[in-house]
């Protein structure tokens, strides 16, 4: 069930849209900030609040890759794999992070510290290869600098 605080935050979020449905992404991210991810129960509660079907909301949640439909680690590292980053060697950075933290794309480290996910262009092509950890964008990442970057996120 939505807590009073969550309900208040959702009511605040929908104020910015002509109808509640338009606030779907904001509502999902609001609850995700509180709960870490969007479970089926969370999805149902948000859909009821927005007065839309669970299926409609799920299609938004699935489409928008910053909404997590599975549990994630304490930090989420999004690795850009679009064209500029690919040309500039993002695969080598990915291989290094996988090796250092014993994790594959789409997985979470065994200590629950880090989830590694692919993402399309972060709009940082001039600083490729780029990645984002939680809300922080990092550019010009190399296999040599990746550990120093990730170590800031315990």
By the criterion CB under 6 A, which residues form the site for ligand FES?
Answer: 80, 82-85, 121-122, 124-125, 128, 130
How far is Cα 69 from Cα 117, in angstroms, rounded to an integer?
Answer: 13
Tokens, residue 89: 């060697």
Indicate the residue among 22 and 139 with the shorter CB distance to ligand FES: 139
Indicate the residue among 39 and 84 with the shorter CB distance to ligand FES: 84
How far is Cα 122 from Cα 18, in angstroms, rounded to an integer?
Answer: 29
The 8-class DSSP code of residue 132 comes to: E
Indicate the residue among 71 and 123 with the shorter CB distance to ligand FES: 123
Shortest separation between residue 65's beta carbon and ligand FES, angstroms:
14
Shortest separation between residue 150's beta carbon and ligand FES, angstroms:
18
Shortest separation between residue 80's beta carbon and ligand FES, angstroms:
3
Indicate the residue among 31 and 85 with the shorter CB distance to ligand FES: 85
Shortest separation between residue 127's beta carbon and ligand FES, angstroms:
7
Q: For the sheet with 114-119, list strands across it.
A: 114-119, 75-80, 131-133, 136-138
DSSP lists the bridge partners of residue 108 as: 115
- Chain-centroid distance of CA 90 in Å reads 19
């Amino acid at each position: 069930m939505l807590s009073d605080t969550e309900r208040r935050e959702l009511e605040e979020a929908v104020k910015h849209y002509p109808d509640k449905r338009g606030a779907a992404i904001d509502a999902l991210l609001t609850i995700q900030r509180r709960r870490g991810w969007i479970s089926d129960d969370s999805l149902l509660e948000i859909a009821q609040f927005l007065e839309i079907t669970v299926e409609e909301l799920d299609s938004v949640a699935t489409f928008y890759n910053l909404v997590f439909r599975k549990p994630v680690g304490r930090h989420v590292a999004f690795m850009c794999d679009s064209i500029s980053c690919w040309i500039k060697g993002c695969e080598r950075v990915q291989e290094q992070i996988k090796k250092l933290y014993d994790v594959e794309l789409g997985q979470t480290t065994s200590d629950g510290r880090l989830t590694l996910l692919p993402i399309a262009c972060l709009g940082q092509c001039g600083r490729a290869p780029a990645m984002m950890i939680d809300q922080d964008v990092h550019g010009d990442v190399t296999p040599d600098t990746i550990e120093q970057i990730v170590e800031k996120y315990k």
